[in-house]
């Protein structure tokens, strides 16, 4: 069970408003990359909140609802497939993180960022490697980002049923590659991720 130790340390060091930031969807061949920023109440606790990858879809949905209800505030930012192609996935992820923080109703004094790179969001940043399994606010952000993206891809699946996004959420599964080979590339695919298929040598 995660505790509030990272946030407490920040509060003890004079940072009154602390948020956690994480992303979902850096690896898929289609759809946007999502990021979330979450500010939790002081000394928040939750029995099953953890890294989104460690929870089943059913548990993620339950925790998502709890966070939406309990958080001081939360926000989601996205960078779409065109932005990913234009500025690359790393910079697009950083852009989504900045948009998530900018979307918060309360401006944080400090942001805990999952990973080891600084997205330069305009607030004080502290990176935590595997932060989604160590820091409660980052874990909460990982849940919000993951569930939000999965639900978005379910909507995309209605527009492009032939690609079966409901099954793979845009990730590079065998089925997904087979559908691309059969139907070609859709407007929601990341062309920069499909250069071999497209024959793009740039």
Condensed to tens digits (0 to 9), the pLDDT of residues 166-190 reads 999 999 999 999 999 999 999 999 9
What pTM was estimated for this model as a whole? 0.94
Q: What is the DSSP pairing of strand 110-114 with strand 18-24?
A: parallel
CA gap 138, 146 in Å, rounded: 12
pLDDT for the residue numbered 2: 85
Q: Specify the range with the lowest mean pLDDT, choosing from 49-58, 93-102, 134-143.
A: 49-58
User: How far is Cα of residue 10 from the mean position of the Cα atoms in its chain?
Assistant: 23
Q: Both tokens of residue 108?
A: 């944080």
Q: Which domains does the chain have, with CATH numbers?
A: 5-198 (3.30.420.10)
CA gap 61, 148 in Å, rounded: 10
Is 199 a residue whose pLDDT tops 90? no
């Amino acid at each position: 069970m995660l505790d509030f130790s990272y946030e407490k340390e920040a509060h003890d060091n004079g940072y009154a408003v602390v948020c956690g930031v994480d992303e979902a969807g850096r690896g898929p061949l289609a759809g946007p990359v999502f990021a979330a920023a979450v500010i939790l109440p002081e000394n928040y606790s939750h029995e099953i909140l953890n890294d989104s990858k460690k929870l089943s879809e059913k548990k993620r949905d339950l925790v998502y609802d709890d966070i939406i209800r309990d958080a001081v505030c939360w926000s989601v930012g996205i960078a779409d497939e065109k932005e990913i192609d234009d500025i690359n996935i790393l910079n697009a992820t950083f852009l989504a993180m900045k948009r998530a923080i900018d979307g918060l109703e309360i401006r944080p004094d400090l942001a805990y960022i999952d990973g080891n790179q600084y997205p330069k969001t305009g607030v004080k940043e502290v990176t935590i490697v595997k932060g989604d399994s160590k820091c409660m606010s980052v874990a909460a952000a990982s849940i919000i980002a993951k569930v939000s993206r999965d639900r978005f891809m379910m909507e995309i699946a209605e527009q492009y049923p032939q690609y079966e996004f409901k099954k793979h959420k845009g990730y590079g599964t065998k089925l997904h590659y087979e559908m691309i080979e059969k139907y070609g590339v859709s407007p929601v695919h990341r062309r920069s991720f499909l250069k071999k298929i497209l024959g793009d040598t740039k």
